[in-house]
Chain A
Amino acid sequence: MSGTPIVVIPGSAAPDAPAPATPRHLPNRGGPANPSADALKAKFAGAVQRVEVIWGETSVYVERLKLGEMVQWLHDDPSQRYDYLSDVTAVEYRDPEQPIEVVWHLRSLPYRRFLRLKVDLPLDGKTPLEVPSVWGVYKGADWMERECYDMFGIRFAGHPDLRRILMWEQYHEGFPLRKDFPLRGRFSRAEQLRQALAANPEARYSMEELTVAQAFEDLPEAMRKRLLGGERTGE
């Protein structure tokens, strides 16, 4: 019917990748770990704090500042080839003694592996809430890291444009997914509404936007001058 150029190819998995199967009867703790965990231990001896296998998923707790290097290696090394970043997020526990964990979920499409990397950020006031950005390795990390910053206040060093993404930029009630943030927000409903309505819906519809996106230099000279002179456009 559809004389279409659709081709059905069997997939790009490596020949020695395990045959996929629905996981069953996973143990709570233990079980076979992802082989990449041992490889990481061998390669970055001091930087791997511990490895846990929970419900069949391998979590590797790593040193905060070493993370960027490790992700780059996982991405590039031909025996690992973690080419797909599933997710970047964070977890804060109800117990304030427990550290905030930043979580990366990586997939190796050729070897059909799934790996979870974690970085502990203790809430002791001494450790900065900052981890290296993996944007240089995975372009897909851009918005996920922005969201993590927006919701938890965790900074990603090296991210090109770390702004709020879901909440508006003048939002100053705090970081909503932190445990000290009440479900209904810090302010009364009327105050929240007042602040929301005070926002100008056209606020970002302007050439200033471009300065944020590092595009200002590309504008024509005459236009740059006028903008620097304080002219507002688009409103």
Chain B
Amino acid sequence: MSTKRTVNVALGTSGLDEQGRPRRAPLTMNEGGTVTTLEPPPALEDALELEGEHMLINIGPQHPATHGVLRLVLELDGETVVRCIPHIGYLHCGFEKIGEYRQYNQVIPWTDREDYLNSIGNNVAFALGAERLFGIEITPRCTVLRVIAMELSRIISHLVWLGTTCIDIGAFTPFLWAFEQRERVYELLERWVGARLTTSATRVGGMAADIPAGWMDQLQHFIKTFPKTVDEIDRVLTTNGIWVGRTVGLGVMSADEAVNYGLSGPMVRASGVAFDVRRDFPYLDYETYDFEIPVGTNGDVYDRFLVRMEELRQSTRILAQAATRLPDGPVNSDDHRVVLPPKSKAMSDMESMIHHFKQVMEGPRPPLGESYVAVESPKGEKGYYMVSDGTAKPVRWRIRPPSFVNLSAIGKMVEGHLLSDVIAINASIDIVMGEIDR
């Protein structure tokens, strides 16, 4: 796949704009306001018969551009990366081990803290997996509420990605805009479940709480006003010569490679593979929503940015549809083997009291079996694999971390690029170390 590619650039034209401010021009700009990526420079051996020593550069574990405690050891030939050896595990906290010591509902707080940008989405994913293991169905209202939760979570996760990537590449302003919108989603979540970041919003068989009165109006207001910010960021970045120049043609993965490396989420879609768990292996009735799956063509950093920007818009679309179809009715399933009966019934009805007692003292017990439920997290296919041996605690709780698999391809992606481009490529993967190391 050739890395040569031309992108139209608006902000990159030289001279003054309408307001008389100087315009910024990238070095590689053409006459008509386009940027063409340069062909890679000829290999050093061909240009000069120099036997240079390779140099090792260590990035991390504490480095602002590693988005956590990732460590990359880079072997450089001049400024070109010859080999990249990632070291992970600096945030290994034993989530999966602890899951074997907790009942199903008690595991939910851990799902918050594992991919902490997408905590409410993880809550939903875990609850879906546990519900399949218990063999219970959730109510229609709960289904729609969970869709709202997942899409809000996708929005705030992509906003963090956007903000931090902008800082990595050298733009600070979108970070502030993105975080202001995050605060608005935090307000929504806080009114709903009482926490900003670590939500623990679901329970097996339902949600921790129904939405409060007036919440939908606030959500509608958010749906209406949020695309403005997306457009604003779009206007600043998408056709910005500097942004394009620093992202186009980097870290290219072809479609076959992307699938073979197990990439998922925006990473695989930027390479031209329309794999989205929401549509291909649906859950929560996603097949009934009208949304599109943005797909890139080149599989470079710029395409990943475009895919995520478009996903922000599509998530807003799904939110709007979910908000109109939210049915009335109970939130929690009425299967009281798993879901606590209401307090009034537990105090008056014998059977309910027994269910209440059994659940509180022993915890709900699923039948023998196992379930693997995957959802489309902002990073990709997030799977929860649970195995039950009939007791109240899972015998194995496995997290299939999308950014772990996505990051494993970084060695392939940065090969042959400049050291400064490693930062952009690493940022484009959207890694969360809490999820990678678990």
Contact = CB atoms under 8 A, between A and B. Distances in A.
> Is any CB of A less than 8 Å from a CB of B in the complex?
yes
A173 B239 CA distance: 53
A206 B56 contact: yes
Interface string B121-153: 000000000001101010000000000000000
Contacts of B8: 3
Interface string A165-206: 111100000001100010100000000000000000010111
A59 B75 CA distance: 43
Given A20-B287, A112-B280, A112-B281, A105 B372 contact: yes
B139 to A, nearest CB: 13
B385 A22 contact: no
Interface stretch (B82-90, B157-165, B315-323, B330-338): B82-90
Given A7-B295, A93-B389, A105-B385, A139 B83 contact: no
A25 B58 CA distance: 52
A233 B56 CA distance: 9
Interface stretch (A41-49, A62-70, A119-127, A213-221): A213-221
Contacts of B383: 86-87, 105
B349 interface: no
Contacts of B307: 6
Contacts of A5: 7, 296-298, 303, 306
B387 A91 contact: yes
B93 to A, nearest CB: 10
Interface of A: 1-13, 19-26, 28-29, 54-55, 57, 59, 83-87, 89, 91-95, 103, 105, 107, 109, 112, 114, 116, 138-144, 147, 151, 164-168, 176-177, 181, 183, 202, 204-207, 209-210, 213, 215, 219-223, 233-234
A166 B306 contact: no
Contacts of A215: 75, 83
The 8 closest A-B pairs by CB, nearest first: A140-B262, A166-B89, A143-B408, A166-B92, A11-B274, A91-B396, A87-B400, A8-B292
Contacts of B282: 20-22
B83 A22 contact: no
Contacts of B287: 19-22
Interface in B283-320: 283-287, 292-298, 303, 306-307, 309-310
A220 B53 contact: yes
A6 B282 CA distance: 23
B413 interface: no
A19 to B, nearest CB: 8
A59 B370 CA distance: 10
Interface string B362-385: 000001011110100000010101
Given A6-B296, A22-B284, A168 B372 contact: no
Contacts of A26: 132, 135
A91 B135 contact: no
Contacts of A181: 97
Of residues B98, B235, B385, which shows the largest number of chain A Cβ atoms within 10 Å of its Cβ?
A: B385
Contact of A85 (B85, B239, B262, B293): B262
A83 B85 contact: no
A1 B408 contact: no
B328 interface: no
B13 to A, nearest CB: 15
A210 B83 contact: yes
A213 B97 contact: no
Given A93-B395, A204-B73, A143 B285 contact: no
A87 B238 contact: no
A177 B133 CA distance: 21
A30 B275 CA distance: 28
A87 B279 contact: no
B94 interface: yes
- Identify whether the interface residues of B are mostly helix, strand, loop, or mixed: mixed
Given A5-B7, A87-B372, 9 more contacts: A3-B238, A4-B238, A21-B282, A28-B367, A109-B275, A138-B260, A139-B412, A166-B438, A205-B58
B418 to A, nearest CB: 20
Nearest to A87: B400
B54 A220 contact: yes
B238 A8 contact: no
Interface residues of B, number: 84
Contacts, number: 208
30 contacts: A2-B309, A6-B303, A24-B137, A28-B367, A55-B135, A55-B371, A83-B260, A86-B262, A86-B374, A86-B381, A87-B385, A91-B387, A91-B398, A92-B396, A105-B385, A109-B259, A114-B372, A139-B260, A139-B261, A143-B408, A164-B89, A168-B89, A177-B97, A181-B97, A183-B94, A207-B56, A209-B73, A210-B75, A219-B54, A220-B53
Majority SS at the chain A contact face = loop
B395 A91 contact: yes
A84 B405 CA distance: 12
B107 interface: no
B108 interface: no
Contacts of A112: 280-281
Contacts of B257: 139
B385 to A, nearest CB: 7
B407 to A, nearest CB: 8
Contact of A223 (B53, B135, B309, B398): B53
B180 interface: no
Name the residue among A55, A138, A151, A213 with the largest chain B CB count within 10 angstroms.
Answer: A55
B398 A89 contact: yes
Nearest to B234: A2
A6 B306 contact: yes
B168 interface: no
B115 interface: no
B231 interface: yes
A205 B132 contact: no
A11 B385 contact: no
A161 B297 CA distance: 32
B132 A55 contact: yes
B116 interface: no
B263 A140 contact: yes
